[in-house]
Amino acid sequence: NNDLLAPLIPSRGIFWPLTPAVVIQHSANYNPLAQTHSNYPFQAYQNSQVDSLNIIGEFPVQNSDDAKHWVATVNFLRTITKMFFGKEDGNKLKGNPPPILHMSGYGDHMFSKVPVIVNTFNVELRPGIDYISTKQASQPYVQTAADVGGYDEAGLDVADTSSQTWAPTLSNISVLVTPVYSR
């Protein structure tokens, strides 16, 4: 029931409009064992791990619908990196850590519902880029003394009660996720 995140419902999550770069790293850890009369230690295998995945992609915005998707994506990433909170007494999730997400892409043998947590995300707002306006959910309007002739001091129509956000026509969004598998 969140109009701001509604553009993400049809895709069941965020996605980049253009194929992003995904940096994948796996590592095998070895324990060096020193041997008598040897210049080189013996490498004893310890364990392996899948390291964090870095997803980096350009995010073009060409119209108001794209701008709504960009705003929803940024707000989803802001939300998913915070713990649950809220005013309602009935909210049983308050204080819980952010949820585990499922990452899919590139078919069944690459990323098929891989459980991940979002560690960090970056949004690069480049200089010299145009911005596109988009309207989000309705908000109550409180008229002030400065509102004269149907326009506020910024020249915006006071009768229009939807919130407005400006999305860049081109930005970079990068997300660092870590796979988390249950034992």
Distance between CA atoms of 94 and 161, rounded to whole angstroms?
31
Instruction: From 127, 130, 124, select the one nearest 59 (Cα to Cα).
Output: 124
Answer for the pair 94, 124: CB distance below 8 angstroms, yes or no: no
Would you give the DSSP letter of residue 148? Answer: B
Q: What is the largest CA-CA distance in the chain?
A: 92
* Exposure on the CB side of residue 140, measured as CA atoms within 13 A: 1
**For residue 161, what are the CA distances in angstroms to 133, 134, 136?**
15, 13, 10
73: helix, strand or coil: helix
CA angle 15, 17, 20 (to 5 degrees): 75
33: helix, strand or coil: strand
Listed in sequence order, the residues at least 6 apart from 5 whose beta carbon sits closer than 8 Å to its beta carbon are 72, 75, 76, 79
CA angle 172, 178, 182 (to 5 degrees): 150
Reading the chain (183 residues) residue by residue, the pLDDT tens digits are 678 888 888 888 899 999 999 999 999 999 999 888 888 999 999 999 889 999 999 999 999 889 999 999 999 999 899 888 776 666 777 788 888 999 998 888 988 999 999 999 999 998 999 998 888 765 544 444 444 455 555 455 555 556 788 899 999 999 999 999 876
Listed in sequence order, the residues at least 6 apart from 21 whose beta carbon sits closer than 8 Å to its beta carbon are 55, 56, 57
Please state the pTM of the whole predicted model. 0.76
